Amino acid sequence: MFVRGDLAVFGGKPVRGRDDPLPQLFPRVFPRKALDYVREVVESGLTSDVEERFKRAFAEACGVKNVVTVANCTAAVHAAIASLNLGSRDEVVVSAISDYGSVAGVIAEGAIPVFSDVDVRNGCVTAEEVEKVMTPRTKAIIVVHWYGLMCDMDPIIDVARERGIIVIEDCCQNPLGEYKGRKAGTIGDLGCFSFDPEKHLSAGGGGAVITNSDEIARRVEKFANLRGAEFIPRYGRMHTSF
């Protein structure tokens, strides 16, 4: 039977305390394999293909055609928004519960974030709540698979397809999660990931955008990594528009 005095705030024994604190982010523990990868990159003079090997492995694990690596998930979502040429007065529906990284790119590109409420049982947006805030200016939806739980994607995709709207999946908290046999990030048009230290799949930092669209992948790569440039033979870098 529960007794009020069992709670630490009322004098009970705390689950965690000074003698048994919560795990800390620092100091970080790096496995030997991580050190081997760093050594490989350094000793190769930054010519190692370790990044390409990761992209191929992650693409295979997700069951997707294209992986574009970026600095973090904030950069991933920003690059996804920029690749769609969204801008002033365009609206993007975003989950009301998420990290600021889900919104930063929307604001940076001059678009307007519009917040959708979530299912109180799991913190994920639903098609019903998304529809409530959509307008004729809505151009994209960013769903967030919150705390390892997948959004109910089929109804959301149906709503988006009826209106010709792009769906971006923020998969920071659910890498390799599944919905009806499909991996997180492969159900919408783009999937965005974080590999920060506190994430489920960590490389100590970094992020990625995945998509089955070759054209979207090209535009994401151009914005995120090539600084809007193309390399012209016998000329060099030329900064161009998308």
HEC secondary structure over 151-178: CCHHHHHHHHHHHCCEEEEECCCCCCCE
pLDDT, averaged across the chain: 91
Q: Is residue 61 part of a domain?
A: no
Residue length, the chain?
242
Report phi then psi at 212, rounded to 5: -90, -5
User: How far apart (Å, rounded) are the C-alpha atoms in residues 99 and 76?
Assistant: 13
Rounded Cα distance, 161 and 170, in Å: 18
Tell me which residues of the chain have a pLDDT lower than 70. 1-5, 242
239's enclosing H/E stretch is: strand 236-239
Residue 31: asked if its preceding bond is cis (omega within 30°), the reply is no
For residue 51, the tally of other CB atoms under 10 A from its CB is: 13
Structural domain range at position 115: 66-227
* Token reading at 4: 């009020």
Note the pLDDT of residue 242: 61
In the chain, pLDDT over 70 holds for what percent of residues?
Answer: 97
Q: Containing H/E element for 59? A: helix 50-62
Given this model, what pLDDT does residue 4 score? 58
Q: What local confidence, expressed as pLDDT, does residue 3 receive?
A: 55
Residue 12 domain flag:
no
- Planar angle of CA 75, 194, 58, nearest 5 degrees: 110
Angle, CA 170 vertex, CA 169 and CA 174 arms, to 5°: 105
Q: 47 in a domain, yes or no?
A: no
Whole-number Å distance between alpha carbons of 180 and 91: 29
Residue 232 within any structural domain of the chain:
no
Task: Tell me how far apart the 2 most distant CA atoms of the chain are, in Å.
Answer: 79
Q: How many CB atoms lie within 10 A of CB 237?
A: 12
Q: Evaluate whether residue 58 is within a structural domain.
A: no
In this predicted model, what pLDDT tens digit does every residue of 155-201 receive, in sequence order? 999 999 999 999 999 999 999 999 999 999 999 999 999 998 788 88
pLDDT of residue 17: 81
Q: How many domains does the chain have?
A: 1
pLDDT score at 55: 96
User: Would you say residue 24 lies in a domain?
Assistant: no
pTM of the model: 0.87
Which of 58, 64, 113, 56 shows the shortest CA–CA distance to 89?
113
Distance CA 186, CA 179 (A): 10
Assigned domain for 236 exists? no
Residue 25 inside a domain? The answer is no
Which CATH number fits the domain that encloses residue 204? 3.40.640.10
Task: Tell me what pLDDT residue 205 has.
Answer: 82
